[in-house]
């Protein structure tokens, strides 16, 4: 591996990307989908980069998932022609959706009659419609047992010629809250069973040819057979992170990103350091069920091939710009003011969204769509 990164150029919190490892992770997931004859529609919200997106073309990907209209517009601008927005339709963006549908094959997610009606009335190009199903996450979607409501949505979709019903879609995000790899597998399999049971009930009512699309990284990584599904949409598998490590979804050497943070203060009595790296860089997600809260693990090398992750070295608190890192005695002695420490984020997708660019171990910079973009006030 070419390790030519110039540490002196890193002045502020920066994502360090082991691009070789990320490509290995990508090939493994793509090969798995191909071997099971399942469509691979990866979620691009993880990396949000046009350049990294090209890696996916190299393994035969032509259909992608995003999580917002603006993200869909970005990747459409970069030549992607089949894009699924895996977020319930926001009818306040209907004009942007209509324009987007004129230049790419667009897939949309619905679980409300109001959204279907507005799409049917406003859209002038054919679009794919997926019905969002809740198999246990309790976030969005029609509850999987409610085939009556799903049937009503399907009848409404059929009334509009530009709306092409593709099937049923779920994100089994409950796997992220599991306590072990075995529980991840159990939740993933249960979610797939529920999706297929719903599909079977709809077939009994004469509604056929529905596809099933699923998408969580933990389940897709740990399941050997992926289940009776037509499409998988994982995203986090590309980089992995501390959450995936804790769940047993990946090994330390498979984590492809860390956040380089300058050390600004050191407190021997507490055996803690303060870093320039806070909630605006790392998010405030914590490792599930961690006591005390863990906002990321600390390492002293940016190279995942040499990481020896010690759970005793962790980010214990975050404010907007500050991070407080607790270290065991030997590691505390290594920490010097002005040096960098490398934080394995709890959620790599959020770190990528926040920081806007990557620096590879080879010293190259890769921009994301957020690089230089001023965040909107919500």
| CATH label of the domain that carries residue 296 | 2.40.37.20
Last residue within a domain, chosen from 212, 239, 266: 239
- Tell me: pLDDT of 340 over 80: yes
Task: State whether 337 and 223 are in the same domain.
Answer: no
96 shares its domain with 130: yes
In a domain, 130, yes or no: yes
- Tell whether 276 and 349 lie within a shared domain: yes
Question: Do both 186 and 38 map to the same domain?
Answer: yes
Same domain, 27 and 80: yes
Contacts of 342 (CB under 8 A, 6+ apart): 16, 258, 259, 260, 261, 298, 299, 300, 301, 302
**Does residue 251 fall inside a structural domain?**
no
Domain membership of residue 1 (yes or no) is no
| Mean pLDDT to the nearest integer, 43-50 | 98
Residues 193, 159, 155: CA angle, nearest 5 degrees = 30
Decide if 67 contacts 171 (C-beta within 8 A): no
**Whether residue 182 sits in one domain with residue 141:** yes
Note whether 205 and 269 are same-domain residues. Answer: no
Last residue of a domain, one of 239, 272, 306: 239
pLDDT value for 377: 34
**pLDDT beyond 90 at 306:** no
Same domain, 62 and 166: yes
Return the structure tokens found at 232.
């998988």
Q: Within this chain, do residues 67 and 198 fall inside the same structural domain, yes or no? A: yes
What CATH number is attached to the domain comprising 119? 3.20.20.10
Task: Say what percent of the chain tops pLDDT 70.
Answer: 97
Give the pLDDT confidence score for residue 3 in this predicted structure.
53
Total of domains in the chain: 2
pLDDT for the residue numbered 378: 31
- Residue 293 burial (CB count, 10 A): 15
* Together in a domain, 81 and 229: yes
pLDDT exceeds 80 at position 376: no
Is 40 contained in some domain? yes
97-100: long-range contacts, CB 8 A cutoff, minimum separation 24: 97/69, 97/122, 97/123, 98/122, 98/123, 98/124, 98/125, 100/69, 100/72, 100/73, 100/76
Host domain of residue 329: 7-15+256-367
Domain identity same for 123 and 152: yes
Lowest-pLDDT range of 83-87, 118-122, 228-232, 362-366: 362-366
Spatial contact of 173 and 164, defined as CB atoms under 8 Å apart = no
State whether 95 and 227 are in the same domain.
yes
Q: Which residue in 277, 377, 253, 274 sits closest to 327, CA to CA?
A: 274
């Amino acid at each position: 591996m070419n390790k030519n990164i110039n540490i002196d150029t890193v002045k502020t919190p920066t994502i360090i990307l082991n691009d070789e490892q990320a490509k290995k992770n990508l090939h493994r997931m793509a090969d798995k989908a191909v071997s099971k004859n399942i469509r691979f529609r990866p979620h691009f919200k993880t990396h949000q980069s046009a350049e990294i997106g090209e890696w996916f073309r190299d393994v035969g990907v032509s259909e992608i998932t995003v999580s917002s209209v603006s993200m869909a517009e970005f990747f459409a601008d970069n030549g992607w022609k089949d894009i699924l927005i895996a977020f319930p339709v926001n009818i306040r963006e209907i004009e942007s959706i209509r324009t987007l549908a004129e230049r790419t094959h667009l897939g949309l997610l619905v679980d409300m009659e109001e959204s279907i009606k507005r799409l049917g009335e406003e859209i002038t190009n054919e679009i794919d419609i997926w019905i969002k199903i809740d198999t246990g996450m309790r976030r969005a979607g029609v509850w999987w047992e409610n085939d009556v409501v799903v049937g009503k949505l399907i009848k409404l979709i059929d009334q509009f010629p530009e709306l092409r019903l593709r099937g049923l879609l779920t994100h089994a995000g409950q796997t992220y809250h599991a306590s072990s790899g075995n529980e991840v597998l159990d939740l993933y399999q249960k979610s797939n069973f529920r999706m297929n049971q719903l599909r079977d009930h709809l077939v009994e009512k004469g509604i056929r040819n529905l596809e099933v699309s699923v998408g969580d990284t933990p389940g897709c990584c740990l399941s050997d057979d992926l289940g009776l599904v037509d499409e998988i949409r994982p995203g986090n598998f590309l980089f992995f992170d501390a959450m995936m490590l804790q769940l047993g979804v990946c090994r330390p050497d498979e984590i492809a990103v860390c956040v380089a943070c300058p050390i600004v203060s050191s407190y021997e009595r507490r055996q803690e350091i303060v870093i320039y790296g806070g909630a605006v860089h790392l998010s405030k997600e914590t490792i599930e069920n961690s006591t005390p809260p863990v906002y990321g693990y600390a390492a002293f090398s940016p190279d995942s091939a040499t990481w020896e992750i010690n759970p005793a070295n962790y980010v214990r608190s975050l404010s907007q710009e500050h991070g407080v890192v607790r270290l065991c005695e030997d590691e505390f002695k290594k920490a010097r003011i002005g040096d960098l420490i490398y934080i394995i984020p709890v959620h790599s997708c959020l770190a990528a969204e926040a920081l806007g660019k990557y620096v590879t171990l080879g010293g190259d910079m890769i921009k994301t769509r957020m690089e230089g973009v001023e965040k909107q006030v919500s």
